[in-house]
Amino acid sequence: MTPDFWIYFTILLVSSGYGIFHFREMPAWLKTLTLICILTFSTEVLARVLSYTIRNSSPPYHIHVILCYLLQCYVYTKLYKNIGFIRNYAIVTAIILCIFSLTNSIFIQRPLTFPSYAILLASIFTLILILSSFVLMLRSPGERPLLAEASFWFNTANLVLYTTSFLYFAFYNILIASGGIPDVYESVIAVFTILAYTFYGISLYLGNKKTPSHDNQPGK
Amino acid sequence: MTINLENKELLIAMIAGSIVFLILAGFIIYFMFLYRQKQLLHANEQKRLEAQYQEAVMESRMEIQTQILQHVSSEIHDNLGQIASLINIHLHTFPPPENPQAEAKLQESRELLRRLTRDMRQLSQSLNTEHLSEKGFFRALEEESERIARTGIVSVHLNLPAPVPQLDKNIEVFLFRISQEILNNMLKHAQATEIHIDLELQPEHLAISFRDNGIGFNPDLALQEGAARRRSGLRNLQKRCEWIHAGLEIESAPGEGSRFILKLPL
């Protein structure tokens, strides 16, 4: 395992730990964000264990992609309680993704194959949610500076993470065909993933602060 | 040939990736800039709505006050005035007393009643907004000063500018109500023996100064206490002045009297 993986692992652990420690005081959406961090951490641990035992790390990602998207949808519906579009979009895309992922795992990319198609679809769906969220933030700006808003950090983290995922899996076949994924590409992806989970951590920290926030207002 | 093609695809993938990441960073920076702009716009809009709300509240309060004053004015004129007239008739139908002392008492009662009727009429007029706008601010202020002076509690010195300026009827009513409030406050709280009202016509504004020789007060403290109790005559005065875009300066200190300077832009 490379140093960048250990950094990623540590940040995941710290973010999850912080979330667990302050779980009771957090609003619902931050509790869900904590669950996302714990889920990712567990998936990564399980994947590493399986890669040593059965020499294949793909199976946990088949479950992770579905659960993670469902949790993301839950976060956005909690963040924008009064926005019907977000709720309807989340329900419809969650159903589509579940059906597609299950079909993909059974017939196309079986459990021992990495579920790149499902992740690609989840990335596209999530990117639309993220962009909608940015638009909604612009429609009703809070009084606090943007950098003090937990929802901004969460959205930015998602934007970085899912754009990275999208690009990675959009070029996955080309890269594999050209003789494997080059180290420089892997490193860039790792840096952005580390960045994204750091932003998740910042979001958890800011959202948990006792000061009244734009993110914690009802209906937001 | 195959290797070249694969390298080319890889290069394209890398370049595309870099471009997308640059766009990502640009997007976040642009979003931050846009958000800041929206925040400023939103804050301005909120301020505007707050001012609009305050104006609406002020307007309805003024309307309610006008209606109450109108009602009190009619009651004084129609009801109390009628009773005073009846008493006057009764006094005149009294047979002339033979006792000179009783005659003097009767004359004194008639005189007192005459003064009471006059004061009631003037009070009724000063409360009646329609009458007030017909008469005009300067004439109404003159009468108000005379009315207060007649109470004997304070002496009032009024100094009007030679040519009185023409003001909007609504503003005149507001100015008069503000003046009444200041004068009433002086009567109620200042324990003053003298009140000076000076009106000065400047090229850009009309300055009205109300000065008393009373016990004075701390204006900041009075405003703070009023705000804490959610009612403040001073704050009301300031609001009313804001409503007609006039400035209000309050100069006072304990033991040094007080001075209210109202500046109305012309």
**pLDDT tens-place string over residues B129-186:** 777 777 888 888 888 888 888 878 888 998 887 777 788 887 888 888 889 889 888 8
How many residues in chain A? 220
β partners of residue B210: B197, B260
Which residues in chain A have their CB less than 8 angstroms from residue B43's CB? Answer: 143
- Residue A137 pLDDT greater than 50, yes or no: yes
Q: Which of the residue ranges A14-23, A106-115, B111-120, B228-237 would you say has the lowest mean pLDDT?
A: B228-237
Nearest CB to B28; choose among A142, A156, A188:
A156
Return the CATH architecture of domain B154-266.
2-Layer Sandwich (3.30)
* ipTM (interface pTM): 0.78
Cβ contact B262:B207 at 8 Å:
yes
Which of A203, A215, A217, A212 minimizes the C-alpha distance to A33? A203
Q: Lowest-pLDDT range, A18-27, A148-157, B115-124?
A: B115-124
- Rg (chain A; Cα; Å): 17
Does the domain spanning A3-216 belong to CATH 3.40.1000? no
Comparing C-alpha atoms, which of B118, B223, B230, B236 is closest to residue B180?
B236
What pLDDT is attached to residue B115?
Answer: 85
Q: Which residues contact residue B36 at a Cβ distance below 8 angstroms, ignoring those fewer than 6 apart?
A: A146
Q: How many beta-carbon pairs below 8 A join chains A and B?
A: 54
More confident residue, B198 or B7: B198
Q: Is B20 on the interface with A (CB under 8 A)?
A: yes
Q: How far apart, in Å, are the Cα atoms of B54 and each of B57, B58, B220, B240? A: 5, 6, 22, 11
Q: Which one of A124, A131, A138, A217 would you mutate to disrupt binding with B, by most B Cβ within 10 Å of its Cβ?
A: A138
Render pLDDT for A71-86 as a digit per residue (tens, 0 to 9). 999 999 998 888 888 9
Of B6, B17, B35, Cβ closest to residue A179: B6
Q: Where are the alpha helices (DSSP H) in A54-149?
A: 59-79, 84-103, 116-139
Given the structure tokens 């001073």, which residue do they identify? B234
Nearest chain B Cα to A171, which residue? Answer: B13
- Quote the CA–CA distance of B7 and B9 in Å, as a whole number: 5
What are the φ/ψ torsions at residue A158 (nearest 5 degrees)?
Answer: -65, -40
Diameter of chain B measured on Cα atoms: 144
Parallel/antiparallel/unpaired status of strands B194-201 and B155-159: parallel
* pLDDT per position as a tens digit, B242-260: 888 888 899 988 888 899 9
Q: Where are the domains of chain B?
A: 154-266
- Using CB atoms, which residue from A138, A171, A182 is nearest to B35? A138
Could you give the 3-state DSSP secondary structure of residue A37? helix
Q: What is the pLDDT of residues A190-220, one digit of tens each?
A: 888 899 999 999 999 998 875 444 444 434 4
Q: Minimal Cα–Cα distance from B39 to chain A, Å?
A: 5
- 3-class DSSP state of A195: helix
Which residues fall within 8 angstroms of residue B257, CB to CB, at 6 or more apart?
B190, B192, B211, B212, B213, B214, B215, B216
By the 8 A CB rule, do A30 and A151 touch? no
DSSP string, B5-28: HHHHHHHHHHHHHHHHHHHHHHHH
CA–CA distances in Å: residue A32 to residues A25, A76, B113: 13, 10, 83
Mean pLDDT of B68-91: 82
Which residues of B are less than 8 Å from A138 in CB distance? 31, 34-35, 38
B14:A185 CB<8 A? yes
- Helix ranges (H only) for A140-217 are 150-170, 172-177, 183-208
Q: Tokens for B192?
A: 């003053």
What gap in Å lies between CA A159 and CA A199, rounded to an integer? 11
Distance CA A48, CA A62 (A): 15
Residue B243: its pLDDT value, please?
A: 80
- B260/B266 Cα distance (integer angstroms): 19
> What average pLDDT does this structure show over A127-153?
90
Residue of B nearest to A160 (CA): B24
What is the per-residue pLDDT across B87-124, written as a single tens digit (0 to 9) for each? 888 888 877 777 888 888 888 888 888 888 888 887 88
Is the pLDDT at B201 greater than 90, yes or no? no
Interface of A with B (CB under 8 A): 134, 137-138, 140-143, 146-147, 152, 156, 159-160, 163, 167, 171, 174-175, 177-179, 182, 184-185, 188, 192
